[in-house]
Amino acid sequence: MKKKAMFFGFILVCLILLPTLAMAATGVTMIIGGVEAKPDVPAYIENGRTMVPIRIISENLGATVDWNTKTKQVTIVESGKTVVLAINSTKATINGSGYTLESPAVIKNGRTMVPIRFIAEGINYAVDWDNTTKTATINKNTADTGTGNETAKEFQYLGYYYSQSSLSDSIAFNNELTGVIHFAYQLSAEGGFTKKANFDTDKFYCQGGGYENTRNADIDALMLITGFSKSTVTTVLSDPALRAKTVNQIAETINVNGLEGVDLDFESVAVSQRENFVTFVKEIRAKIGKDKIITLSLMPRSKDSQYWYDGYDYYGLSQVADYIIIMCYNEHWSSGSPGPVASVDWVESVIQYTLGLGVDKSKFVIALGSYGYDWPEGKSGASLTNTSARNRAAKYGSVIMRDRASECLFYTYKAADGIKHTVWFEDSVSLGKKAALAKEYDLGGIAMWRLGFYTTEIWSELLDNTEHPNAKIWQGKAAAETAFPYVTVDKNGGISIENNGDFIPQS
């Protein structure tokens, strides 16, 4: 690497004399080490990322910076971490591990501008962002920061407890489950949260219910808070007072109910709240402490073009939470066109994309959905369980087939009203292959959406494909799975059965 003499001479002076400087810029305020500083080139926001002159990295964060003129590559070294990024490239590395940047380093008006959060967190600094005041606060991480669970983690088997139908699975699987997430509350626009409609009838807190079972089986119990309204989520995340009110209620509820932690299922986060979401999780961590668990149920992203997920800073959130649970289902959903709920290749693309953002694989859990959809032609579909899907096929005399491309099951039928229906659903084979990906990529675990939808055969296959020591016990309980014919589907909907090559046009 080549160094520019004047530039690094200045850096040396700054490292000796100016270790705690901070900066401010037009529209963006930076507080580093408790001090506001003023750079000679203003910082700016690009794609939701704060871009700063490279000098800030050396002068204010105390890092060594090398510039390679030939490759236009910047190398930053500090605290045993080496960050490498190139001009106009969204690819970067930290200690050799690859990451994808939302905003690459650029040369603007003759100055090198870099994304401050990615670099700061990469060299062990904590970054907090206040979107209201456009202020970034950056401090060196100490021994007291982090999730509090930095030791090696066991592979997780988490189950979402949604209604009283979830009770049977939570009891049946209690020797394998490591955590149960109670679908309990919904975020309020006034701050805090309220009980879900079925809270008092879901049998979680009743005698012999889900909570009591977690106590008897030594399973972690977490409360879940949904945030399905984008306006509500935006209102709360953008207001420090409403965030504080919510954080306080979370801490109180955890303590009163004797829970191990909280899961946030915010499925509508505006890009404007990207930084505030991370800040909110940090505030929860500070309030409930390190001995409690924070999990985040996040939407699945498989490529950069899915801009509607820009509100999720997957990497930043994973730095604060104990686990991020990526909901690997609804590749095709009720209001869309018929298709697999989650094809194996699609789930793998979600895993690869998320890991490419720099998410720690040990904190990365994939959630699997054991269900399907029945789509009437030209209308929205309705969800159904594996058992219901099989029973419906039997009722209408339909042939269930397995799509080779997705590994999922499907069939068609005509209802009494003459309307054609297309059904796609999951079974032990399709879910087992997706669970195996969690082991293949050495992820932190799997989560089940939802308890009550998992048959003995499915549970047995999940345990076997993730190498659980109890897999053989469950294999003894499971019935032999039906061998459905593998088929390929052409672009016109024609179906070709493998081996004998028979062709079946869709009715």
For residue 304, tell me if it sits in a domain: yes
Q: Does 335 lie in the same domain as 305?
A: yes
Q: Does 335 lie in the same domain as 285?
A: yes
Q: CB of 410 within 8 A of CB of 430? A: no
Q: Does 219 lie in the same domain as 102?
A: no
Q: DSSP secondary structure string, 307-364?
A: GGGTT--HHHHHHHSSEEEEE---SS-TTS-S--SS-HHHHHHHHHHHHHTT--GGGE
Average pLDDT over residues 275-295: 96
Q: Which residue has the higher pLDDT, 329 or 96?
A: 329
Average pLDDT over residues 17-27: 41
For residue 379, tell me if it sits in a domain: no
For residue 355, tell me if it sits in a domain: yes
Angle at 467 between CA 462 and CA 473, to 5 degrees: 70
What values do phi and psi take at 432, rounded to 5? -65, -40
Assign residue 340 the CATH number of its domain. 3.20.20.80
Q: Does 131 lie in the same domain as 271?
A: no
For residue 81, tell me if it sits in a domain: yes
Query: Predicted confidence band at 41 (pLDDT cuts at 50, 70, 90)?
Result: confident
Assign residue 80 the CATH number of its domain. 3.30.457.10
Average pLDDT over residues 36-60: 85
Given a cut of 50, whether residue 403 has pLDDT beyond it is: yes
Q: Which of 88-97, 177-186, 199-208, 433-442 has the lowest mean pLDDT?
A: 88-97
Q: Does 199 lie in the same domain as 135?
A: no
For residue 90, tell me if it sits in a domain: yes
Question: How far is the C-alpha of 256 from the C-alpha of 254, rounded, in Å?
Answer: 6
What was the pLDDT predicted at 357?
Answer: 92
Whole domain around residue 102: which residue ranges? 5-140
Q: Which of 142-146, 447-451, 501-505 has the highest mean pLDDT?
A: 447-451
Question: How far is the C-alpha of 188 from the C-alpha of 406, rounded, in Å?
Answer: 38
> Which residues have CB under 8 Å from 154's CB, separation 6+?
178
pLDDT tens-digit series, residues 417-448: 999 999 999 999 999 999 999 999 999 999 99
Given a cut of 90, whether residue 126 has pLDDT beyond it is: no
Average pLDDT over residues 257-283: 96
Q: Does 91 lie in the same domain as 15?
A: yes
Given a cut of 80, whether residue 37 has pLDDT beyond it is: no
Average pLDDT over residues 215-239: 97
At 399, list the tokens.
Answer: 């042939």
What was the pLDDT predicted at 208?
Answer: 95
What was the pLDDT predicted at 58?
Answer: 80
Q: Does 359 lie in the same domain as 450?
A: yes
For residue 307, tell me if it sits in a domain: yes
Question: How far is the C-alpha of 452 from the C-alpha of 216, rounded, in Å?
Answer: 20
Q: Does 166 lie in the same domain as 133?
A: no
Q: Does 165 lie in the same domain as 117?
A: no
For residue 491, tell me if it sits in a domain: no
- Name the one residue in this structure whose structure tokens are 């929860």: 284
pTM here is 0.77
Average pLDDT over residues 282-291: 96
The number of domains in the chain is 2
Query: Predicted confidence band at 381 (pLDDT cuts at 50, 70, 90)?
Result: very high
Query: Predicted confidence band at 482 (pLDDT cuts at 50, 70, 90)?
Result: confident
Query: Predicted confidence band at 382 (pLDDT cuts at 50, 70, 90)?
Result: very high
Given a cut of 60, whether residue 500 has pLDDT beyond it is: no
For residue 80, tell me if it sits in a domain: yes
Query: Predicted confidence band at 22 (pLDDT cuts at 50, 70, 90)?
Result: very low
Q: DSSP secondary structure string, 85-141?
A: EEBT-SEEEETTEEEE-SS-BEEETTEEEEEHHHHHHHTTEEEEEETTTTEEEEEE-
Q: Which of 144-148, 340-344, 471-475 has the lowest mean pLDDT?
A: 144-148
Q: Does 219 lie in the same domain as 133?
A: no
Given a cut of 80, whether residue 20 has pLDDT beyond it is: no
Q: Does 133 lie in the same domain as 165?
A: no
Question: How far is the C-alpha of 419 from the C-alpha of 241, rounded, in Å?
Answer: 53
At 212, list the tokens.
Answer: 């009591």
Q: Does 349 lie in the same domain as 242?
A: yes
What was the pLDDT predicted at 488?
Answer: 92
